[in-house]
Amino acid sequence: MSTPVPSRAKRVVIVDDSPAYCDLWSNFMLDRYADSAQVETYSHPYDALPKIDASIDLLIVDLEMPGMDGKKFVDYARQKGLSPRRIIVTSSHSSDVLHERFRIGETIAVINKTEPKQQEAFLMILDSIMRR
């Protein structure tokens, strides 16, 4: 009888200029996906840039950060080989504004941080990615 091979932890990178949001997302990910998530947080986008590559399973990036626009950060991540299907952009802007900034296919989702319906969609996307 063969022994199941343990799956590797998913590499999740969170880039948000708010340390509080970094902690919130990180704790949430580690609580919800205890043994299947390896979470890295960066509260300054320039600290995260050298860590961005195609090995990331999920990138959660804030749209507005001092020093670098989230759109530029997403473009950089895609240039480094990260699939758009592994990128989620978060913001306090309305979903309409977010959809104006990102065309379909540039990310898997753009999510408003505060709207309850958007949070439900965010959880479904997270569950889907983390259980692959």
Q: CA-to-CA distance for 83 and 85, rounded, in angstroms?
A: 5
Q: What are the boundaries of each domain within the chain?
A: 10-130
Paired with 62 in beta bridges are: 90
Mean pLDDT of 104-130: 86
| pLDDT tens for each residue of 65-94 | 988 888 999 999 999 999 999 999 988 877
- From the list 86, 91, 85, the residue with the least C-alpha distance to 118 is 91
Q: What are 91-108's pLDDT values in tens digits?
A: 887 777 777 788 888 888
Give me the pLDDT at residue 3, please.
Answer: 42
pTM comes to: 0.88
Mean pLDDT along residues 37-60: 95
Sorting pLDDT into bands at 50, 70 and 90, what band is 7? low
Q: Give domain 10-130's CATH superfamily.
A: Response regulator (3.40.50.2300)
